[in-house]
């Protein structure tokens, strides 16, 4: 698409300096204080929505946009000075937020407006409801001043601990040196791109480097060494931080009158804590059944290999360890489905696959992505590798501007080490009636290109890329008046549903074919080689292979998340041994052996401290198992699969062959009903019912897994 001039300039990353971060954070605090002081002077009798709430809304909108920008650089900037300044700016702003929500004088005004029940448009009424709830959760409903003071002090400390926990994760640059002999079995393409010191190679804790060793290293003791290093990477930093965070969260929740922190968070979720626990108990039966079948097969494969090859360095061939899983799952796919992940990756060079995924999203959602050249003077970024797009509606949808999309996908030190979407800017309506446009940042860590070949994506990385682009589209196509409700600001147990639904769409065989294209083929080589039909068949057949063990790992995180946030009493969390509880659950739920089976005990590893869910999802990680998988599958089966090419359909050569008018129409409805409102709805189940024409059904996904499991035995 030809580059048109957007009505709003992109974010300016050229003028960044540490002092400007701190100054802007302090300026935002001053501006908010001026607004709130005026609101505080309004008497409850004279308080109206326009006079008291609207000024808070307009200040929050502007402040949210800048705060998200300032906070973001802590996760991605290559400059230590900027990361530190970003971290400090976040501290300044979150500390001020807690102070403001604690103000009893402003609460009295807000409460007075709430009680008058003025007629305002629904999104503004919802803002008032959630605003009042924030005041109450900051202690304004308490009559005892000492209790209120403890809540406010606790909330301040919680914000600091959350920021420290995340900063520690982003700052981790650990790893270990391994010799070429220790790395026996790892493809040469990985060895060639790793830092070298004689015959040693540096393997850090980032997924593009860690995964090839766990999947390919033939020496079990090396896989154990790498897995243990990774599991313990945050033990000296985040372990103590998390313990303090959990104690404070529990204390604040109980002081406010809740049973525990999980109950405090229930108003921000669809599912209640007891319902979530009941669901996890139910689904555990299913995944244990599947995982047990898979484990028996993998154990047999291991025993056969150990006997036939007489493998050295096998600490205990009678056990199947956590560090065995990736290695033998790869071998199982080779023997059962006859495909190699590295071979499949040859057909998904990142830039080519990304271009086609964006074309597919354009056709489905009625949008256009206009890429800026790397040398564009109109665009600045935080790193030279970042790709930037201006995103528009297509002509059928009015051709208007939607926002900006940034992609930062290759690993580097001190960068966010996982994959995820950042709502870099929200959409909202300014006081003068003009529109502020959103911006999305997709951050990942794919294997970087080398002089010999481009970045090649494993098929799971291709699917996850499409997933994260789904979050970006949620942010870019949402249309809300107020920043707090924009895009993926929906409850944690709803936010993954749209993107997981897109994963189901992406697994269509014709979509896989059209997006693929072997990296060393093209017009100059006599024509592009697509992913062969037999490889597509094997890829799809193995889609749900070993899903039981994988989802038992998700069940572990979900169960642990709820356990640490719903203790029986405050003493329980104070006395909780976090690593022991995590490893006991791992042993109980994941079925595989661990360091304890080698005589090292249940406290030998500290894996609980390397995950991000305690600070982000806290008590809602179960969404990956329940709402995301179950409801997204129901949506896909009901509304989208009927309009996708079937196995008997003719071969699709272009995206136009796939995206029929009927499919595009359904995606248009999905965009309008599910994505457009963001979090400005009062019933998410009601929203899904409107889209489906009936209540959503979560059971279909479980039934499908059982059928797939029988087929993969």
Contact 541, 707 (CB under 8 A): no
Q: Which helix (H) or strand (E) holds 175?
A: strand 175-179
- Between the two ends of the chain, the Cα-to-Cα distance in Å is 48
Q: Is 629 strand, coil or helix?
A: helix
Which pLDDT value is given to residue 92? 95
Which pLDDT value is given to residue 313? 64
pLDDT interval class at 339 (50, 70, 90): confident
Which pLDDT value is given to residue 273? 84
Per-residue pLDDT at 626 exceeds 70 = no
Which pLDDT value is given to residue 711? 56
pLDDT interval class at 1 (50, 70, 90): very low
Domain with CATH 1.20.1050.40 in the chain: 18-170
CA 479 to chain centre: 22
R_g over Cα of the chain: 26
Range 257-282 average pLDDT: 87
Kindly give, in sequence order, each residue whose CB lies less than 8 Å from that of residue 30, ignoring residues fewer than 6 positions away: none
Per-residue pLDDT at 315 exceeds 80 = no
Contact 349, 455 (CB under 8 A): yes
Write the DSSP string, 543-599.
TTTTHHHHHHHHHHHHHHHHHHHS-SSHHHHHT--HHHHHHHHHHHHS-SB-GGGGT
CA distances (Å), origin 344, targets 73, 340, 534? 34, 6, 12
pLDDT interval class at 210 (50, 70, 90): very high
Among all chains, which residue has been given the structure tokens 């979560």? Answer: 698
Of 149-153, 273-277, 612-616, the range with the highest mean pLDDT is 149-153
Domain with CATH 1.10.1370.40 in the chain: 345-544+644-682
Give bridge partners of residue 321 from the DSSP assignment.
Answer: 593
Q: Which two structure tokens, joined as six digits, stand for 155?
A: 């909330």
CA 244 to chain centre: 24
Q: Is 270 strand, coil or helix?
A: coil
Dump pLDDT digits (tens) for 97-107. Answer: 999 999 999 99
pLDDT interval class at 115 (50, 70, 90): very high
Per-residue pLDDT at 712 exceeds 60 = no
**pTM over cut 0.85:** yes
The mean pLDDT of the chain is 91
**Whole-number Å distance between alpha carbons of 541 and 255:** 52
Contact 443, 410 (CB under 8 A): no
Give which of 79, 94, 93, 95 is closest to 18, Cα–Cα: 79
**Whole-number Å distance between alpha carbons of 193 and 196:** 9
The rounded percent of the chain whose pLDDT value lies above 70 is 96
Please state which CATH number belongs to domain 345-544+644-682.
Answer: 1.10.1370.40
CA 176 to chain centre: 27
Of 224-228, 536-540, 653-657, the range with the highest mean pLDDT is 224-228
Phi, psi (degrees; rounded to nearest 5) at 420: 180, 170
Range 446-462 average pLDDT: 91
Sign of the alpha-carbon torsion through 419, 613, 634, 480: negative
Sign of the alpha-carbon torsion through 669, 670, 676, 679: positive
Lowest-pLDDT choice from 156-170, 302-316, 571-585, 653-667: 302-316
**Whole-number Å distance between alpha carbons of 500 and 548:** 18
Phi, psi (degrees; rounded to nearest 5) at 593: -80, 165
Please tell me the number of Cα atoms within 13 Å of 611 on its side-chain side: 19
Which pLDDT value is given to residue 523? 65
Of 13-27, 100-114, 304-318, 689-703, the range with the highest mean pLDDT is 100-114
Sheet holding 200-204, edge to edge: 175-179, 200-204, 196-197
Write the DSSP string, 83-129.
HHHHHHHHHHHHHHHHHHHT-HHHHHHHHHHHHHT----HHHHHHHH
Q: Match domain 18-170 to its CATH number in 1.20.120.1150, 1.20.1050.40, 3.40.190.10, 1.10.238.10.
A: 1.20.1050.40
User: C-alpha angle 64/66/71, rounded to 5°?
Assistant: 90
**Helix, strand, coil shares, percent, the chain, to 5:** 60, 5, 35
The rounded percent of the chain whose pLDDT value lies above 90 is 74
Dump pLDDT digits (tens) for 358-373. Answer: 999 999 999 999 999 9
Q: Which helix (H) or strand (E) holds 403?
A: strand 401-408
Per-residue pLDDT at 624 exceeds 70 = no
Give bridge partners of residue 349 from the DSSP assignment.
Answer: 456
| Count of Cβ atoms closer than 10 Å to residue 574 Cβ | 13
Per-residue pLDDT at 84 exceeds 80 = yes
Give which of 249, 517, 160, 175 is closest to 359, Cα–Cα: 517
**Whole-number Å distance between alpha carbons of 677 and 476:** 12
Per-residue pLDDT at 455 exceeds 80 = yes
DSSP category for residue 141: T
Dump pLDDT digits (tens) for 14-35. Answer: 888 899 999 999 999 999 999 9
Per-residue pLDDT at 529 exceeds 60 = yes
Which pLDDT value is given to residue 237? 93
Per this entry, what is the length of the chain? 713
Of 331-340, 345-354, 529-538, the range with the highest mean pLDDT is 345-354
């Amino acid at each position: 698409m030809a580059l048109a001039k957007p009505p709003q300039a992109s974010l300016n990353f050229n003028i960044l300096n540490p002092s400007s971060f701190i100054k802007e954070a302090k300026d935002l605090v001053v501006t908010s204080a001026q607004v709130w002081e005026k609101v505080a002077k309004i008497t409850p009798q004279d308080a109206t929505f326009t006079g008291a709430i609207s000024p808070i809304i307009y200040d929050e909108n502007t402040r949210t946009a800048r705060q998200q920008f300032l906070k973001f650089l802590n996760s991605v900037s290559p400059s230590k000075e900027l990361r530190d300044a970003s971290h400090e700016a976040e501290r300044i702003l979150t500390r001020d937020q807690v102070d403001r929500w604690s103000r009893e004088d402003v609460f009295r005004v807000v409460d007075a407006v709430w009680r008058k029940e003025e007629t305002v448009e629904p999104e503004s009424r919802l803002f008032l409801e959630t605003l009042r709830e924030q005041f109450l959760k900051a202690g304004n409903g308490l009559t005892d001043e000492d209790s209120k003071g403890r809540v406010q002090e606790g909330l301040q400390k919680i914000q600091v601990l959350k920021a420290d926990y995340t900063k520690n994760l982003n700052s981790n640059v650990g790893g270990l040196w391994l010799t070429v002999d220790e790395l026996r079995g790892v493809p040469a393409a990985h060895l060639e791109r790793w830092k070298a010191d004689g015959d040693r190679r540096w393997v850090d804790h980032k997924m593009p480097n860690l995964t090839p060793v766990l999947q390919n290293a033939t020496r079990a003791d090396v896989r154990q060494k790498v897995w243990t290093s990774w599991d313990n990477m945050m033990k000296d930093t985040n372990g103590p931080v998390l313990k303090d965070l959990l104690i404070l969260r529990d204390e604040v929740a109980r002081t406010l009158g809740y049973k525990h922190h999980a109950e405090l968070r229930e108003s921000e979720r669809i599912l209640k804590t007891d319902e979530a626990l009941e669901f996890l108990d139910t689904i555990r039966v299913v995944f244990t059944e599947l995982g047990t079948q898979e484990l028996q097969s993998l154990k047999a494969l291991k025993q056969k290999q150990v006997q036939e090859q007489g493998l050295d360095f096998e600490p205990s061939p009678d056990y199947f360890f956590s560090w065995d899983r990736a290695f033998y799952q790869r071998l199982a796919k080779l023997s059962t489905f006859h495909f190699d992940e590295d071979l499949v990756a040859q057909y998904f060079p990142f830039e080519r696959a990304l271009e086609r995924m964006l074309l597919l999203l354009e056709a489905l959602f009625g949008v256009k992505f206009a890429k800026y050249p790397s040398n564009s003077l109109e665009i600045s970024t935080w790193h030279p590798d970042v790709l930037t797009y201006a995103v528009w509606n297509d002509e059928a949808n009015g051709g208007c501007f939607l926002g900006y999309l940034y992609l930062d996908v290759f690993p580097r030190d001190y960068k966010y080490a996982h994959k995820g979407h950042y709502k870099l800017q929200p959409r909202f309506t300014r006081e003068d009636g003009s529109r502020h446009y959103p911006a999305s940042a997709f951050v990942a860590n794919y294997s970087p290109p080398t002089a010999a070949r481009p970045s090649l994506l494993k098929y799971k990385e291709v699917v996850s890329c499409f997933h994260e682009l789904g979050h970006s589209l949620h942010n870019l196509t949402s249309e809300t008046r107020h920043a707090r409700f924009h895009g993926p600001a929906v409850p944690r147990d709803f936010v993954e549903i749209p993107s997981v639904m897109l994963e189901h769409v992406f697994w269509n065989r014709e979509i896989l074919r059209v997006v693929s294209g072997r990296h060393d083929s093209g017009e100059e080589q006599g024509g592009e080689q697509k992913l062969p039909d037999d490889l597509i068949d094997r890829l799809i057949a193995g889609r749900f292979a070993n899903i039981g063990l994988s989802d038992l790992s998700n069940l572990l995180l979900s169960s642990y998340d709820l356990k640490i946030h719903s203790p029986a009493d405050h003493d329980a969390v104070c006395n909780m041994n976090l690593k022991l509880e995590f490893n006991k659950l791992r042993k109980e739920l994941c079925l595989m052996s661990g360091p304890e089976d080698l005589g090292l005990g249940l406290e030998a590893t500290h894996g609980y401290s390397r995950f991000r869910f305690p600070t982000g999802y806290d008590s809602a990680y179960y969404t990956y198992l329940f709402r995301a998988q179950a409801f997204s599958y129901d949506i896909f089966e009901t509304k989208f699969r009927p309009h996708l090419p079937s196995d008997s359909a003719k071969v699709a050569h272009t995206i136009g062959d796939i995206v029929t008018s009927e499919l595009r129409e359904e995606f248009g409805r999905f965009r309008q009903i599910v994505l457009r409102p963001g979090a400005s709805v009062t019933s998410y189940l009601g929203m899904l019912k409107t889209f489906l024409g009936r209540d959503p059904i979560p059971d279909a996904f479980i039934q499908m897994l059982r059928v797939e499991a029988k087929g993969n035995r």
